[in-house]
Structures are given as C-alpha cells and as structure tokens.
Chain A
Amino acid sequence: MFGSPKEKMLTQQIENLKLQYSLIGRQLDHSVESLGSLKLSDEIRYRTILDMDSVPESYRRGGYGGIDRFKDLTGYTNSGLIISYRSKIEEIKTRSTVQKESFKSIAERSADWKRDKDHSPAISPVNVKYRLGDPFKFREVHPVYGTPRMHFGQDIEVPYGTEVYATGDGIIIESGYNSGGFGNYIKIDHGNGLQSLYGHLSSIKVVKGLNVKRCDLIGLSGNTGTSTGAHLHYQIEQFGKPTNPINFFNNDMTQEEFSEMIQAFGSKSKFR
C-alpha cells in the first residue's frame, strides 16, 4: 500500500535509468539513420556505377539470433525496454559490419574500375588538327602494292614530326622497325585484351617494357615503312583481332583542350 523510502528511492532510480535509456535511444536512432544513408550511397551510388550486385537486405540484417539471445533478460518489468535496446544495438553492429565489408569490396572494385578507365585507349593519339585518311576497311587497291588488301587501322594525316601520345595507360610490348610495312612502330598493351599500335613513326621515344601513362609522348610521326606520305597508322587490336580504332575515341575536343589535357597528364606523369 505505502512504499518504503527505499522503494521510493529505487523507483526513482528506475525512472532515471529510463531517462538515460531514452537518451541513448536517440543516439541509436541517429546511428540507424546514418547507416541508412550509408546504405543508400552504397547501393545507389557506388554499386550502380561499378556495376555490382546489391547486398540483399536479409544479409544486411544478419540472419542469426533473435529474442532467444536475450533470454537472461526476461522476467523484469522493463525487460521489453532493455531487450529492444540490446537487439537494436546488435542490429546496428551487424549492419555496420556488413557495410564495412561492402565498402571494402567497393573500394577494391573501384580501384579496378579506375585502372580500366585509365588503361582504356580513349583519346586521339595526336592533337586534333588532322585529316583522317584511309579508315579501317578493305582497300581495293593498296597505295604501294597496288593489290586489294585489308587495312586494319585508321590513317591519320599529320605533318612529319607530329608528337604521338599513348592513348591509354599500358606497357610497351613492341617497339622498333617492322619490315612488314609498319616501319618504326610501337605497340602498347593496355590490358583487358586491348593493344594499340602506332606505325610509320620517324622517331621512337620509348623502349620495350616501359610502363606508359595516357598522354605520354611516345614518338614522332613520320613516313617509314610501306607509306606513300607522312601519316600515322593507328590500330587497335582486341584480343589479337584488329577492330576499328575510330570507335575508341571521340572527336569532341578542340586543339586547346587537347594541349591542356596533355599538360594536365604530363604534370602528373613520372615519365618524360
């Protein structure tokens, strides 16, 4: 009927504790919220861009356990309260662990993605002030041999001595004179089965085995090999099969932009 002073004191303590719990509850809610926003940026930003599968919600929640894990907490007046906080914390912990793992795999994948991006031969090998010569096509009459022949690259008509740049990061796998027709030529392996070839050069500035970055100066154009005039022969091979190189770069830059790009890359490059 009447509470003893001690009882009153204890009840008061419980009330205080409840208040403290609710304060922590706010923190918990905040954590849940920020985890939610992390999940959003994980799923929608990174996984979408990097073309990765999304992490299923069931996996994020963590499959094990349940109320049984807190069996020793039952039997108190405030059991429900305590258990709800404990399980919330457990959930946050699982979620953040999953999130950590997910970010780890995203970081790995994004490094790959960046490398692919940098290695792709995505620019024009010479500054854009040029006229495109013979494209990737079957030539009825070869200018030198006079016979029908497949032309496996794109001819770019540039003056003698024009600077030729690597079109993507890669490693020089061949450089030297090719008596078969390319003259002085360079071949770069970009990975992912892509190789680019630059023919009829007058001067070669790189050696075999060198790692090059996009926009590194690799040689000067010329008229060596089977050629009737100064031009650059640009060829791209995908898994050993020549493909049309015109599909690998956009014709959307001005001369100034190209020079700016060369400079921007040059300042970052360790080579040259």
Chain B
Amino acid sequence: MLISFFFRIDYLCHIMPRTKYKFNPDSLSFDRVKLGVRTLFFRFLAYFIGSVIIAIIYWAIFAGFFESPKEKALEREVEQMTIQYNLIHREMADVENVLEDLQKTDDNLYRTIFEAEPIPSTLRDGGSGGINRYNALEGYSNSSLVIETANRLDKIRKRIYVQSKSFDDLIDLAKRKEEMLKCVPAILPISNKDLTRVASGFGLRIHPYYKISKFHSGMDFTAPLGTKVYATGNGVVIGKMSSLRGYGNNIIIDHGFGYVSLYAHLSEFNVRVGQKVQRGDVIGFVGSTGMSVANHLHYEIELNGVKIDPVNYYFENLTSEEYIRMIEVAAKTGQSFD
C-alpha cells in the first residue's frame, strides 16, 4: 500500500511542471501563478485519500483471492476445533448415558445391600451443591437476588436445625466441669472423614436375619476388617467379652457421669479390663464376630442406664454441616447389621 502511494507521488512529480504560468490578457504576458499553502495541502490530501482508497481496493481484491498464512492457520484451527468439539460432544453424550446406568446400578446395589431407598445424590455428593435447588426461582427479574436470599434462608434454617438439636446438650455441658468434657463420649469411634461409613442409625431398623423392624440400640459403622476402633472419651474399661453370638467380642467403657459406651463385633482387643483409657486410644479392631452379617462396628452409648442415640455425641470432630449430614444419613438407613 505504502509502496503504491510513494510511486504515485513520484509519478505526479514527473508529469506535473514545477512552475505554473497563466496568460494575462491585460498585460499580454504569462504571469507566474503562485499556489497557496492551503491549495497545495488540499491537493495533496485529495491525492493521498485517493491512493489510500485504491490501495484498500487492491488489498481487498488480493485478500479475496489469496489467503494469508495466518488465515490458513486460523482456518485449520477452527476446522480441527470443530471436529474435536463434535467428537467430544458425542462422547460426552455416551459418557453421560454410561454414568446414568452406573448411577442406577449403584442405587440398585444400595437397595439390595442396605434394604433402603438410596440416599439422594445431593446428600451423597456432600453439601448442598450439585443439583440447582432453586430452579423454580430462575427466569424472573431480580431472580438472582431471590435465589441468594433463599440460599441464605436455607443456610440459616440448617443452622437453626443444628442448634436446636444440640443446644440442650450444650447448655448442660457448659454448666459442668472441664473434666466431664474429657470423659463424655464425643468423637466418632472410627475415623470417618467423609461420613460414608454410617451404615445404620439408632431406632427401629430392619433386622438382617429376622426381616422385621427391631429396635436398634446403637449405630453401625461399616469398616474393613482390622480398622482401628477408638475410645470416644476418657474412662475405664469395665467389660470385655468374647462371644459367638450377640455382640461378639465387645468392650464396655465406663466414662463416669452416667455415661457408658459399648463397642461390639470386634475382631481383636487392644485393652484389658480395668485399664484406664483416654479419648482417641485404640481399644480394638473392627470385625464381624457374634451376630453380624458383615464387618462393622456397633457403637452404643448408655446414659444413666438408658440407651441413647449416639448421633448426638459427635460434637468434637464434626462441623455443623457434617453433623447435619450425619443426622440425615443415619435417619435414612434401613437395615442394621446385627
């Protein structure tokens, strides 16, 4: 473009004389015409613009017929990306079908093994993520505001739920001494980071052998053979029994303050009767002794001789969200394991 422009200037210089004369009929002589700066400038501008336009036309024609290397590269890129996109899209559809099948299989397995309706995937994935719970609110103006508010309300509701559940216990606890806090069962008896090990909660559950609802006086945690079982509070081992039926190998710990905890179906013991234990001490290992259908730990808490729901005694190592999930999961289970 620039080249053609300079060429034009050069050409103009050749064909145009350097000085101009004009015939004056009065004096019958040729007067030298003096061009003003303005005129010169406008003339130059006109030529400049004209040449630019011509350059653009040339360039457009050139670009229309020939592709620049960059264009070629871009085109190749677009083509490849489109091909790959279609491929990925197709495969994605396949993958989603497969995943759906897997999900169904999982649900069926859950049904056969736990004899209960599967836990909804939102629960399984953890938290309140995953499925958009506020679908109904979308599509209105201000909907984002509404959703946010609903979201917040939801969170608040959850918090209240936790609060009301554990408030009574907390008030009670706050009044008592530090010593008691160390003794009361307060942690999960096995390490259970993602809470997936809860197999059965406290209350009426289907008995695996009898197939009728029977009162299940503790919580079941599934864990592989030999998983460590922890003492949930400071106390003294007051009972250790090996039996082929009932609780199988079990340990009873007296925590004082009316609390007694029981750990059943163990494969091995790690304590003696009369031994003092601290919270978190390994007291035994998970097994399937006694009346049990799978390797699991049966955990019971007794307060003043009454068996109580252990789910209310995990305040030490669970966040409130985890706690809620724990409650929901424990409430959903259908079959006990002993």
Listed in ascending order, the chain A residues whose CB lies under 8 Å from chain B are 3-4, 6-7, 10-11, 13-14, 17, 20-21, 24, 27-28, 31, 33-35, 37-38, 40-42, 44-46, 48-51, 73, 76-78, 82, 85-86, 89, 92-93, 96, 99-100, 103, 106-107, 110, 113-114, 117, 120, 122-123, 214, 244, 246-250, 252-253, 257, 260-261, 264-265
Contacts and interface: CB of A to CB of B under 8 A. Distances in A.
Given A14-B78, A96-B95, A96-B102, A49 B212 contact: no
B176 interface: no
B239 interface: no
A251 to B, nearest CB: 8
A10 B75 contact: yes
Most chain B CB within a 10 A radius of its CB, from A3, A44, A253? A44
Interface string B289-312: 001011110000000000000000
Most chain A CB within a 10 A radius of its CB, from B82, B196, B210, B243? B210
Interface string B106-128: 10111011100000010011000
B78 A17 contact: yes
B31 interface: no
Nearest to B244: A247
Most chain A CB within a 10 A radius of its CB, from B77, B87, B124, B199? B77
A25 B245 CA distance: 54
B209 A20 contact: no
Query: Which DSSP category, helix, strand, loop or mixed, fits chain A's interface?
Result: helix
Interface in B172-188: none
Nearest to B291: A250
B194 interface: yes
Contact of B102 (A38, A49, A247): A38
A41 B245 CA distance: 29
B166 interface: no
Contact of B196 (A10, A44, A253): A44
B91 interface: yes
B80 interface: yes
A38 B222 contact: no
Given A78-B77, A96-B98, A110-B109, A253 B88 contact: no
22 contacts: A6-B63, A10-B75, A14-B74, A14-B81, A21-B81, A31-B92, A31-B99, A38-B106, A41-B110, A44-B194, A46-B113, A82-B81, A85-B84, A89-B92, A107-B105, A110-B109, A113-B113, A117-B293, A248-B245, A252-B214, A253-B210, A265-B211
Interface of B: 63, 67-68, 70-71, 73-78, 80-82, 84-85, 87-89, 91-92, 94-96, 98-99, 101-103, 105-106, 108-110, 112-114, 121, 124-125, 130, 194, 196-197, 199, 208-212, 214, 222-225, 243-246, 288, 291, 293-296, 337
A37 B99 CA distance: 11
B224 A48 contact: yes
B84 A261 contact: no
Contact of B210 (A24, A78, A89, A261): A261
Contacts of B85: 17, 20-21, 24
A246 B224 contact: no
A261 B211 contact: yes
Contacts of B244: 244, 247
A265 B18 CA distance: 121
Contacts of B101: 100
Contacts of B125: 33-34, 37
A265 B211 CA distance: 8
Given A34-B125, A89-B88, A103-B102, A49 B113 contact: yes
A74 to B, nearest CB: 11
Given A20-B85, A44-B194, A48-B295, A260 B105 contact: no
Given A24-B89, A123-B210, A261-B212, A100 B98 contact: yes
B113 A99 contact: no
A223 B177 CA distance: 64
B88 A264 contact: no
B212 A247 contact: no
Most chain B CB within a 10 A radius of its CB, from A41, A45, A260? A45
B109 A120 contact: no
Contact of B99 (A35, A113, A120): A35
B77 A77 contact: yes
Across the A-B interface, the 6 shortest Cβ-Cβ residue pairs: A247-B244, A10-B74, A122-B209, A49-B294, A44-B196, A48-B222
Nearest to A49: B294
Contacts of A40: 124, 194, 196
A34 B99 contact: yes
Contact of A41 (B96, B106, B293): B106
A14 B222 CA distance: 51
Most chain B CB within a 10 A radius of its CB, from A86, A122, A246? A122
B63 A4 contact: yes
Contacts of B110: 41, 45
Contacts of A50: 113, 294
Contacts of B223: 48
Contact of A85 (B68, B88, B197, B243): B88
B105 A103 contact: yes
B299 to A, nearest CB: 16
A76 to B, nearest CB: 5
Contacts of B224: 48, 51
